[in-house]
Amino acid sequence: MPLSPKEFNAFCGGLPATTFVEQWGGAQVWKVGGKVFAVAWFEKETSVAFVPTLYPDYHPDQPGGVNVGRSILAKSFDIRALGKDMNRLRPPLETITFIGMMFNSSNADLKHFFNATKSLTSFLYVARRLAVHVKELAFYGRGTNVTSGNALAARLAKSAFDLGIPIHTDTPARELVRDADGRVAGAVVEMAGRRVTIHARRGVVLAAGGFPHDTARTAKAYAHVKSGGEHVSPTPAGNTGDGIALAESVGGDAPLQFIGTSAWMPVSKAPLPGGRTGVFPHLLDRYKPGIIGVLKNGRRFCNESESYHDVGAAMIEACRGQAETAMWLVCDHATIGKYGLGYVKPSPMPRASFIARGYLMKGETLADLASACGIDPAGLEETVRTYNVGAERGEDRQFGRGTTAFNRYLADPEVKPNPCVAPIGKGPYYAVKVFMGDLGTFDGLRTTPLGEVLSATGEIIPGLFAAGNDRASIMGGNYPGAGITLGPILTFGWVTGRHLAGV
């Protein structure tokens, strides 16, 4: 739900008067102190550019929710514009690329890949995309046309380089430096094996990506880890909570205050070449008709086509107190051929290696599949029997799957009457085990709206600021729509930057 102008003004606290200006490409544009707010500013002043998306809000039926058009996406970017720095851009998450090729986060792009063997237009589209990508691989060793978060990071980097601002990668911050008055005045970093002190005239901004890989903190924060379950995060492995720990070393406060500590993401452990394992986020399959999610007892527990955060929260709740927090996505032979399952691609891509490595489980009957997975066979058979009664008519009588625009957005529009629901038909049957993961942490450092880090007693720590996931999310542990981490991160990073620049 968008903030009303009054709520926004209240939220911005110390900022000058704020007025709502206009709807821009699906996003709201605000004026702060007479100047147009973040999105338009980035487009005007930097290499950052956005395109609108058709994404519905994740709860479009809630008061104020919209069925289409609030979220925006970074425009794709050719990273050759970064010159020699191109290779310093972290590659996209391997498991959501196809031989390193990124997809546009739109239904149209993906639809062509799903239909490549069924439509000449889609086949030609895919062939063209692959040809361009293979050429990029041959010349540059990686895909150069990047999308989504990779495009945003590349565009921000280009903007910094154009202004002569260096970005020191492989240079971890280790300590904060304080001046005689106790003000944070710099940081000690490790640069090429040496400890170097960087002095800050205006302030130090912590932006080390929250704490998804800080095992001590997540063991305290996550109920499913406390009861002995696994947590598998696809976020950068270096996001080990350093920013928060640095702030705490000078009195900063990062309470665990949200029920949704993190942006939950159901994930599986995908087998990669060379015996490696990657983390695969289940962003697409849960929406497709004929794929259901069941627990160890063989029962469904939620509307699988809700957002990753909501399905994740439901999974944690359903497994509360159990040693393991997991579900299995289950489908029949025709469905896996049509949509794939998890990291397994649709036909004609081969499946044998996924079965051999234990990622994809297969059974001639539902009972066989259940036994192979360690699921209760009677429970699974009963679930499928009950589910199919409604599914024959396109109804999910238990959880109402397909009843919102968001449920339907990533489903299969060609399946009627409900693009999210189809019966589970003839075997063999397949399953992939899904664990709990995250896209980043929501809990973080307490700050003022300007980003100044606060102590436990609410005092500002002079000279110290936080941005990104190092700072507690304004969403309070909720995930109302696409971009709910990056949108506020970009906006409040901009607010902090302008404050420090004195504009």
Tell me the angle at which helices 148-162 and 486-501 cross, rounded to the nearest 10 degrees.
Answer: 10
- What residues numbered 61-120 form the site for ligand FAD, per CB under 6 A? 93
CA 106, CA 117: separation in Å to the nearest integer?
20
* 324 CA to centre of own chain: 23
CA 117, CA 369: separation in Å to the nearest integer?
28
The distance of closest approach from Cβ of residue 469 to ligand FAD in the complex, given in angstroms and rounded to an integer, is 4
CA 133, CA 141: separation in Å to the nearest integer?
10
Check binding of 234 to ligand FAD (CB under 6 A): yes
The distance of closest approach from Cβ of residue 435 to ligand FAD in the complex, given in angstroms and rounded to an integer, is 15
The distance of closest approach from Cβ of residue 11 to ligand FAD in the complex, given in angstroms and rounded to an integer, is 19
Kindly tell me which residue out of 39, 157, 173, 453 binds ligand FAD, with binding defined by CB under 6 A.
Answer: 173
Check binding of 486 to ligand FAD (CB under 6 A): yes
Candidate segments 196-204, 238-246, 293-301, 415-423, binder of ligand FAD by CB under 6 A:
238-246
Phi/psi of residue 249, each to 5°?
Answer: -65, -20
- Pairing state between β 204-206 and 460-466: parallel
Candidate segments 1-9, 43-51, 203-211, 410-418, binder of ligand FAD by CB under 6 A:
203-211
The distance of closest approach from Cβ of residue 484 to ligand FAD in the complex, given in angstroms and rounded to an integer, is 6
Contact 12, 18 (CB under 8 A): yes
Candidate segments 38-46, 78-86, 360-368, 481-489, binder of ligand FAD by CB under 6 A:
481-489
The distance of closest approach from Cβ of residue 229 to ligand FAD in the complex, given in angstroms and rounded to an integer, is 20
The distance of closest approach from Cβ of residue 374 to ligand FAD in the complex, given in angstroms and rounded to an integer, is 28
Give the chain's largest Cα–Cα span.
74
The distance of closest approach from Cβ of residue 8 to ligand FAD in the complex, given in angstroms and rounded to an integer, is 19
- Size of the residue set binding ligand FAD (CB under 6 A): 25
User: What sign does the CA torsion over 316, 319, 323, 327 have?
Assistant: negative
Check binding of 209 to ligand FAD (CB under 6 A): yes
Candidate segments 109-117, 228-236, 343-351, 362-370, binder of ligand FAD by CB under 6 A:
228-236
* Per-position x/- string for 254-293, each x denoting binding to ligand FAD as judged by CB under 6 A, each - no binding: ---------------------------x------------
The distance of closest approach from Cβ of residue 27 to ligand FAD in the complex, given in angstroms and rounded to an integer, is 13
- Which amino acid, residue 317? E
* 372 CA to centre of own chain: 31
Q: Is 177 helix (H, G, I), strand (E, B) or coil?
A: strand
Kindly tell me which residue out of 342, 377, 394, 483 binds ligand FAD, with binding defined by CB under 6 A.
Answer: 483
CA 503, CA 328: separation in Å to the nearest integer?
52
CA 197, CA 71: separation in Å to the nearest integer?
40
Residues contacting 286, CB < 8 A, separation 6+: 266, 293, 304, 305, 311, 329
Phi/psi of residue 312, each to 5°?
Answer: -60, -45
The distance of closest approach from Cβ of residue 272 to ligand FAD in the complex, given in angstroms and rounded to an integer, is 15
Cis peptide before 428 (omega within 30 of 0): yes
Kindly tell me which residue out of 144, 335, 485, 496 binds ligand FAD, with binding defined by CB under 6 A.
Answer: 485
Check binding of 236 to ligand FAD (CB under 6 A): yes
Tell me the angle at which helices 366-373 and 377-391 cross, rounded to the nearest 10 degrees.
Answer: 130
Check binding of 149 to ligand FAD (CB under 6 A): yes
Q: Which two tokens stand for residue 316?
A: 């944690």
Check binding of 404 to ligand FAD (CB under 6 A): no
Nearer to ligand FAD, 207 or 454 (CB): 207
Candidates 475, 502, 495; CA nearest to 59 is 475
Candidate segments 130-138, 220-228, 237-245, 315-323, binder of ligand FAD by CB under 6 A:
237-245
The Cα-based distances of 10 to 7, 31, 37, 408 in angstroms read 5, 14, 16, 35
Kindly tell me which residue out of 262, 469, 478, 496 binds ligand FAD, with binding defined by CB under 6 A.
Answer: 469
Residues that bind ligand FAD (CB under 6 A): 93, 149, 172-173, 207-210, 234-236, 238-239, 242, 281, 439-440, 468-469, 482-486, 489
